[in-house]
């Protein structure tokens, strides 16, 4: 087994998604951790708050929130589900990922480490990491910021021997005894007799040492991915501009993508819930043209929605809820190069829909009706149906239809029995009789310019019963037209591309 340990030394601070710099988290009047700008001013962990404020008067101070840290660590565990199904949480600030069986999937151990580091950086988390055959050894090395890949037991034990005795954090009493004995390295501690050492520093510390060295079993409880995804993020400051919510939303979507991977699910509809400072809520639904599980796609769609959203009040918290899920069937890698996932037509349509509104972007679908004015309808991109749907079988086999229909058929001049449109039209097909619509109201068909549009649908109203003979025709300019003749004469109804 190989364990990748991720230690988050600044988790109490970085769990705050929209903090300002310089900043620090305090507990019981002392600095627990601080960011880089505060550290440059001389602020250190363990300092009194008054000393820290004296060194950095503009320091933003936050009280430690352990519940917020637990939620952030759980969110990170969900995010880690994209790399391996075996994730373990070691509180207060460490994740353990068993990655021995995932190396080929990502292209090697180093590739996994690179992807994990990039993911943590994208979420603005500082990490210490290490890879080792035992989970506790990997955890201790990650706390020390080793940044090493140790594939076998001898290498691991050599690296552990050089660690400070303060890294395991066995408590003040045990550390005081070790300092009194003059022991500063774990290698020196391992050289002492076990029986006497157990009496002096306690059995828990010695057992931990044996587990880290691989001489004692160290079973870990796997993180259980929640049955339903519903995560909430409290914001440390009120947000008045919707675009400023992108970073906090990205953290939620990072966890969401990992949760989907861990549960082998895809999402079709999810919802971002904004809680305002007046206790009201705004629901922002995100609908995908096809089921998805890609974080980058989620964030791009979120940016489109937030770019056109006007907040009715400042936002204090956001939550992400998964509404419509479906199992993931899995995919097989293609032999030849394919377009990257998330860059297809449906993704473009869903982004346009988010930018322009749901009703502004539609796709054209056929209906089982012979009348050309009624033979098509608009659908949302995610409501498209296949061409083999039995409801679309209204067209006779081999019938030719133009891509562009005129809103209202245009009356044509007839000379010597021949219709004219930019010259005499040459009929290229036999007549196709369309006779339908007797069941509609307004039996008197309006073929010419008197047709009225329905105010709600925008389609011509009063089509009623029609009896027409359609032809494919061409004029002297080479333009192909779709014309028909009825009791009132010749009409131009469509153009071929």
Task: Decide if 481 contacts 464 (C-beta within 8 A).
Answer: no
| Interval 92-135: pLDDT, tens | 899 999 998 888 888 888 899 999 999 898 888 889 999 999 99
Domain ranges (residues) in the chain:
3-213, 230-328+341-355, 398-495
- State the Cα–Cα distance between residues 294 and 298, nearest whole angstrom: 6
- State the Cα–Cα distance between residues 220 and 389, nearest whole angstrom: 51
Q: What is the pLDDT of residue 345?
A: 67
- State the Cα–Cα distance between residues 31 and 56, nearest whole angstrom: 13
End-to-end CA distance of the chain: 63
Residue 402 pLDDT class (50, 70, 90 cuts): confident
Residue 385 clears pLDDT 60, i.e. is over it = no
Structure tokens at 125: 């988390």
CATH architecture of 230-328+341-355: 2-Layer Sandwich (3.30)
- DSSP secondary-structure letter at 241? S
For residue 404, the SS3 value is strand
Mean pLDDT of 291-312: 86
Q: What is the pLDDT of residue 389?
A: 43
Q: What is the pLDDT of residue 293?
A: 86
Which residue blocks in 146-222 are alpha helix, DSSP H?
A: 153-161, 172-181, 186-190, 194-201, 203-213
Burial of 73 (0-12, 13-18, 19+ CB in 10 A): buried
pLDDT above 90 covers a percentage of the chain that reads 24
Residue 87 clears pLDDT 90, i.e. is over it = yes
Q: Which helix (H) or strand (E) holds 490?
A: strand 489-495
Residue 415 clears pLDDT 80, i.e. is over it = yes
Cβ neighbors of 39 (< 8 A, separation 6 or more) are none
Cβ neighbors of 52 (< 8 A, separation 6 or more) are 24, 26, 31, 34, 38, 43, 59, 61
Burial of 269 (0-12, 13-18, 19+ CB in 10 A): middle
Q: What is the pLDDT of residue 95?
A: 94
* pTM exceeding the 0.85 threshold for the entire prediction: no
Q: DSSP string of 21-43?
A: SSEEEEETTEEEEE-HHHHHTT-
Quickly tell me which residue has 């109490």 as its tokens: 12
């Amino acid at each position: 087994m190989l364990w990748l340990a991720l230690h988050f030394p600044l988790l109490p601070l970085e769990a705050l998604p929209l903090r300002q710099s310089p900043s620090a988290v305090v507990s019981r009047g002392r600095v627990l951790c601080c960011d880089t700008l505060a550290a440059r001013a001389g602020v250190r962990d363990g300092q009194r708050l008054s000393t820290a404020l004296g060194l950095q008067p503009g320091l933003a101070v936050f009280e430690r929130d352990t519940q917020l840290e637990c939620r952030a660590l759980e969110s990170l565990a969900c995010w880690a589900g994209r790399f391996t199904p075996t994730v373990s949480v070691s509180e207060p600030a460490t994740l353990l990922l068993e990655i021995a069986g995932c190396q080929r999937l990502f292209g090697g151990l180093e590739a996994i480490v690179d992807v994990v580091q990039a993911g943590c950086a994208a979420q603005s988390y500082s990490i210490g990491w290490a890879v080792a055959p035992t989970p506790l050894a990997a955890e201790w090395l990650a706390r020390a910021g080793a940044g090493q890949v140790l594939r076998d037991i001898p290498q691991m034990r050599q690296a552990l021997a050089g660690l400070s005795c303060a890294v395991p954090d066995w408590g003040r009493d045990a550390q005081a005894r070790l300092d009194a004995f003059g022991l500063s390295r774990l290698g020196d501690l391992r050289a002492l007799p076990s029986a006497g050492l157990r009496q002096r520093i306690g059995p828990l510390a010695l057992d931990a040492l044996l587990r880290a060295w691989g001489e004692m079993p160290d079973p870990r409880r796997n993180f259980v991915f929640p049955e339903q995804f519903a995560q909430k993020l409290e914001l440390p400051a009120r947000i008045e501009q919707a675009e400023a919510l992108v970073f906090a939303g990205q953290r939620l979507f990072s966890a969401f993508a990992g949760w989907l991977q861990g549960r082998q699910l895809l999402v079709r509809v999810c919802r971002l819930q904004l809680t305002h400072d007046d206790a009201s809520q705004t629901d922002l639904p995100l609908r995908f043209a096809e089921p998805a599980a890609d974080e980058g796609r989620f964030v791009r769609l979120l940016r489109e929605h937030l770019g056109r959203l006007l907040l009715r009040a400042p936002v204090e918290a956001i939550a992400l809820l998964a509404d419509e899920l479906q199992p993931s069937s899995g995919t097989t890698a293609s032999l030849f190069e394919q377009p990257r996932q998330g860059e297809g037509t449906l993704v473009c349509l869903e982004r346009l829909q988010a930018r322009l509104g749901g009703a502004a972007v539609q796709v054209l679908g056929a209906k089982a009706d012979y009348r050309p004015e009624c033979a098509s309808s608009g659908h949302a991109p995610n409501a498209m149906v296949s061409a083999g749907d039995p409801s679309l079988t209204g067209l006779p086999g081999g019938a030719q239809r133009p891509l562009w229909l005129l809103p209202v058929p245009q009356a044509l001049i007839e000379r010597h029995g021949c219709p004219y449109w930019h010259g005499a039209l040459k009929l290229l097909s036999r007549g196709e009789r369309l006779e339908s619509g007797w069941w509609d109201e307004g039996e008197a068909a309006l073929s010419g310019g008197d047709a009225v549009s329905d105010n709600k649908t925008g389609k011509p109203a009063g089509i009623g019963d029609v009896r027409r003979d359609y032809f494919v025709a061409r004029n002297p300019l080479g333009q192909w037209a779709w014309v028909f003749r009825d009791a009132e004469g010749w009409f131009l109804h469509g153009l071929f591309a």
